[in-house]
Structure 1
Amino acid sequence: MRSSKHDHKSKKTNIQISNHLNSNIENIKKYLSNTSDLSTRNLSFHNKEIVVVYLSTVVNREILEKQVIQQLINHPKETILNTVAIQEVKVSNSFDECLLSIVKGNTVIFIEDEKAVFILDTTSFQNRAIKEPNNEQNLRGPHDGFVESLQTNINQVRRRISNPNFVIKKLSVGSESDTSLAVLYIDTIANENLIKEVLRRLSYINADYIYSPGNLEEFIEDNPYSPFPQMLTTERSDRVAGNLMEGKVAILTDGSPTALIMPITFFSFYQSPDDYNSRWMVGSFARLIRLVSFLIAISLPAMYIALVSFHFEIIPIDLVFTVKGSLQNVPYPPLVEALAMQTTLELLRESAIRLSSPIAQTLGVVGGLVIGTAVVQANLVSNTMIVVVSLTAIASFVVPDSEIGTSVRLLGFPLMFLASLIGLIGIVFGLSIILIHLCKLESFGTPYFAPFAPFRSSDLKDTIFRAPAWKMKKRPFAPLPKKFKRENNSRGWENDEN
């Protein structure tokens, strides 16, 4: 397997560390383009001149001063390794590694007449406090989420999985950015072929800059032209831990609070941590509501267009006059109505996301009440269309994952066009194409529409409904885990005579 970290030619300077301090410092300044935040300190250590090099904007000044500079001046010991009070100290002979370490916030010490360089971990990047993600809130269960620090995010997952077989593999991608990422999995549960495939795809990424998991996802997903996401994105550490225990693999990226989980199935997007934090009947009911919302969001506007354009006889007789009355003064066909209202809804949604919360709430009231009432009174849109679009919007926001919600809204547009052309037959035709695509799609070798295609009855316990936890004695078959059977999933106390 290729190493993504060492295949990028732009990282190689082909410069060797010199015995002369001035030569090393000049090379550092040259390859850092004489950046103004590059700082150097000339000191003496055991009658030898040394130079401490660092970037003042990303180094921890307090740690550098107290645990490095003062120790070198006031308490010199046999070696620098024994003198500095830094937990992580590395000795290197590579100029490229020194250059990269300085950029990442470490401190480098060059010694006169020596080619060995000391790299000290003095990084100081500001991180926000841990709090619950706004787009994945839970009623019950933990309320902490990922932040932009890779180490902090790994710490959160490790706190939930105290398992010696929990493996973390760190890699770097991006020839210019050298973005750090971590691949997480349980060695005794995750399938070896799955792990190798994830690492293989990561090793072939050849890009200047990987700035987010969404950007990374495009390089490694199976079908980049599919409207359906093939990896689950989450900001919750408990959700990552739960998926790892099922034999899946997660990827964390430094600088982003989002994790990628693979392989994934269609039904995973409609599962929420609340399903498992609540009793099984409550969780099953909530999950069924979400799956029904998928059908509503994708087909309700198309159904409305088909009924009022081609199949008025299907509408109950008591509603025919109401629908006809709302449509008779509207000068446009139902398709134009639906497209206009759906586009307006998307505009309101995007503007609400970009604005601050108080203004976004005001915008929602203005858009929902004032604009909705005005367009009906102006006979631009019918009352029935307002109801249809409102129900569609509510259904699309029920899904716990925003990415699949966006995909559902996009798929609604071609169904509307098909319904305006040939009515219900067009809707059936469009839904058939979507179903065929779902059955054909894969995520890292796992069937996307499992356990229905291919059908596996044992996995139905955690799909449309959620069976009681003590009934789910086996892990999902889709990721092909090494340990298919769960341990101690039982109510053994019922058979205990004592």
Structure 2
Amino acid sequence: MKRKSTKKKQQSLFPSTLEEVEKDLNEKALNSSPDFTMKVVETESNQRVGFYFLYSIIKPQVVYEQIISPIQKAKKTLDIKAIDNMIVLPNSKQESNIDEIAKKLLQGAVCIYIENDQSCLMHSVPLQEHRSIDRAETESLIFGPQMAFTGSIETNLNMVRNMIDTPHLKIERFILGNKIPNEIQMIYMNDIANEENVNELRKRLTSLQSEDIMNASVLSQKIEDNPYSFFPQYIVTELPDRFTYSIKEGKIGILVDNSSAGIVAPITFSSFFESTDDIYGRWVIGSFTRLMRMFAMIMSITLTPLYVAALTFHYEVIPEALLLSLGESRNRVPFPPLMETLILETMMEFIREAGARLPTKVGQTMGIVGGIVIGQAVVQAGFTSNILIILVALSALASFTTPDYVMGTSLRILRFPIILLAGTFGFVGIFFMVAFIIIHLLRLRSLHRPYTAPIYPFRFSDFDQSQVRIPFALNKRRATSLLPKKTKRKKSNADQHPLFNTKGKDIDE
């Protein structure tokens, strides 16, 4: 009994003097933080009121004008309820537990305490410094709104609400982490999103016990179906329009506080090769660019492995005229095709990584100049052939066509084991690795939904929602792969166009 009483006494500060509260908060809860501040005010009724806060994370002007000043001018005797009525700020809470008070102070709250009272009043007035709304850094658009998410979850939610102005937009709030809490918001259309998808994602978020969720990318990896896969199972995007378009299609979005990106789930493999530019542009252009990206993806992971396999084991597949050219080009090269290709691919990765880490203007110059100078130098030095330089450059360009940076990087990494198998077993090694990747993709799931839909399970009716883009007048349904509640879209003005609405009219009219 005595031990239990001691623990309870440690947790409670009240009733105490203002100085005792300051000492206990500073030493026991805040570890003598240098930005911890106490402001004491004596009212006209001779009451001493203390204000405790961390000055680095609160709005000082709001604290003085809307909290301290009204209390200082009070002429009658105050209590907690009277103070709460005087302050017009929202999110007030009465608290007497030292740990809870310290936790709220660290989140940008002000503790208001009347000396020798039984509890204090907490008001949240956090100062959040975030970058302004700007263009996306990792995703670019030709058409559409040229803006990206910021680090403020309130600003991000404001952009989402402005783009989806409907009462059917459902938002669920989660706080993850005990020692370092972080706010998460799950957003979906409650009349479209599949209930099983929503329940599964809610279950994963509530069961997650982690203190190191720094941003959306980290969270997406912690709630994936297969965290050991090379391929991302959720889309992490900086673009509000892509985020909101996915929600309107029946998917679920996640916003993370202090993160300038949102998560979209569930998704399919083909989703990583789609862009909102395909929607903003003409349907012919959108279809062509989607098919081109898929072809570029296949070319980026097979072009240099085919070169290695052909020159190492399968000279017979090379046309005679090209074989002579290859022989002349490789005449001075001292390395076998496998080593030659690995050296050049590694050098290309060095240039790409250096360009990404250097400042923007210097990085662009480094990528162009480094590629030209080093490429010409290695050919003249006899380290590689001209033809391989062309193939590596084409593979690199093809990998850059993928709109999603994470997927593009994953495909570039997969190229290396394919090259190794091509140099060891020839075409058999390439076919084995490609078959292994396809089997892995067929087994992969995103929120328990097929990753390779609509190819497997095969749904021809969904191809116009993924592989190609059809005109808006014909796009009257959503993809059924994610099992949305509503597959039919609402009729638009395009449906009333005379070309598509000829009922009861003569063809000449």
TM-score higher than 0.5? yes
Q: Structure 1: any 5+ residue segments left out of the alignment? A: 1-11
Q: CA deviation at 1:73?
A: 1.4
Paired residue for 1:38?
Answer: 36
Paired residue for 1:52?
Answer: 51
Distance (Å, rounded) in 1 between the aligned partners of 2:117 and 2:491: 59
Distance (Å, rounded) in 2 between the aligned partners of 1:24 and 1:363: 58
Q: Could you say if the C-alpha distance between residues 307 and 455 of structure 1 is closer, same or farther in structure 2, counting changes exceeding 3 Å?
A: same
Q: Could you say if the C-alpha distance between residues 342 and 13 of structure 1 is closer, same or farther in structure 2, counting changes exceeding 3 Å?
A: farther
Aligned counterpart in structure 2 of residue 27 of structure 1, from 13, 18, 24: 24
Distance (Å, rounded) in 2 between the aligned partners of 1:311 and 1:14: 78
Paired residue for 1:183?
Answer: 186
Q: Secondary structure at the match of 2:473?
A: helix
Distance (Å, rounded) in 1 between the aligned partners of 2:356 and 2:10: 47
**1:162-187 residue CA offsets vs partner (Å, 9 max, x unmatched):** 11121222212233321112111111
Alignment of 1:402-441 (within 5 A): 402-441=405-444
Structure 1 residue 105 and structure 2 residue 108: aligned?
yes
Instruction: Compare 161-170 and 114-123 and name the one that shifted more.
Output: 114-123
Q: Secondary structure at the match of 2:487?
A: coil
**1:369-406 residue CA offsets vs partner (Å, 9 max, x unmatched):** 11111100000111111111101111111100000001
Aligned counterpart in structure 2 of residue 149 of structure 1, from 136, 147, 152: 152
Distance (Å, rounded) in 2 between the aligned partners of 1:76 and 1:378: 89
Q: CA deviation at 1:86?
A: 2.3
Distance (Å, rounded) in 2 between the aligned partners of 1:164 and 1:230: 29
**1:136-182 residue CA offsets vs partner (Å, 9 max, x unmatched):** 11111111110011110011101000111212222122333211121
Distance (Å, rounded) in 1 between the aligned partners of 2:147 and 2:332: 53
Structure 1 residue 482 and structure 2 residue 485: aligned?
yes
- Does structure 1 conserve the Cα–Cα contact (< 8 Å) formed by 2:39 and 2:52? yes
Distance (Å, rounded) in 2 between the aligned partners of 1:71 and 1:217: 46
Paired residue for 1:7?
Answer: none
Query: Partner amino acid for 1:48?
Result: Q
Instruction: Compare 338-347 and 206-215 and name the one that shifted more.
Output: 206-215
- Does structure 2 conserve the Cα–Cα contact (< 8 Å) formed by 1:150 and 1:255? yes
Distance (Å, rounded) in 2 between the aligned partners of 1:82 and 1:455: 62
Distance (Å, rounded) in 2 between the aligned partners of 1:471 and 1:110: 65
Paired residue for 1:82?
Answer: 85
Paired residue for 2:348?
Answer: 345
Q: CA deviation at 1:366?
A: 2.7
Paired residue for 1:493?
Answer: 497
Give the paired residue count.
487
Q: Could you say if the C-alpha distance between residues 477 and 174 of structure 1 is closer, same or farther in structure 2, counting changes exceeding 3 Å?
A: same
Distance (Å, rounded) in 2 between the aligned partners of 1:42 and 1:192: 53
Structure 1 residue 200 and structure 2 residue 197: aligned?
no
Distance (Å, rounded) in 2 between the aligned partners of 1:96 and 1:261: 35
Alignment of 1:290-301 (within 5 A): 290-301=293-304
- Does structure 2 conserve the Cα–Cα contact (< 8 Å) formed by 1:179 and 1:209? no
With structure 1 as the length reference, what TM-score do the two structures score?
0.93
Paired residue for 1:255?
Answer: 258
Distance (Å, rounded) in 2 between the aligned partners of 1:487 and 1:135: 33
Paired residue for 2:3?
Answer: none
- Does structure 1 conserve the Cα–Cα contact (< 8 Å) formed by 2:29 and 2:99? no
Query: Partner amino acid for 2:25?
Result: I
Query: Partner amino acid for 1:27?
Result: D
Distance (Å, rounded) in 1 between the aligned partners of 2:437 and 2:75: 71
Distance (Å, rounded) in 2 between the aligned partners of 1:75 and 1:19: 22
Distance (Å, rounded) in 1 between the aligned partners of 2:302 and 2:119: 67
Q: CA deviation at 1:93?
A: 4.8
Paired residue for 1:8?
Answer: none
Q: Which is bigger in relative contact order (C-alpha 8 A, separation at least 6)?
A: 1
Q: Secondary structure at the match of 1:363?
A: helix
Q: CA deviation at 1:274?
A: 0.1
Query: Partner amino acid for 2:16?
Result: H
Paired residue for 1:266?
Answer: 269
- Does structure 2 conserve the Cα–Cα contact (< 8 Å) formed by 1:21 and 1:51? no
Identity %: 35
- Does structure 1 conserve the Cα–Cα contact (< 8 Å) formed by 2:213 and 2:219? yes
Query: Partner amino acid for 1:415?
Result: I
Instruction: Compare 67-76 and 126-135 and name the one that shifted more.
Output: 67-76
Query: Partner amino acid for 1:41?
Result: K
Aligned counterpart in structure 2 of residue 284 of structure 1, from 281, 284, 287: 287
**1:194-247 residue CA offsets vs partner (Å, 9 max, x unmatched):** 112112111222223211222212221001111000000100111111111111
Aligned counterpart in structure 1 of residue 399 of structure 2, from 383, 396, 399: 396
Structure 1 residue 465 and structure 2 residue 463: aligned?
no
With structure 2 as the length reference, what TM-score do the two structures score?
0.91
Structure 1 residue 373 and structure 2 residue 376: aligned?
yes
Distance (Å, rounded) in 2 between the aligned partners of 1:325 and 1:14: 84
Q: Structure 2: any 5+ residue segments left out of the alignment? A: 1-7
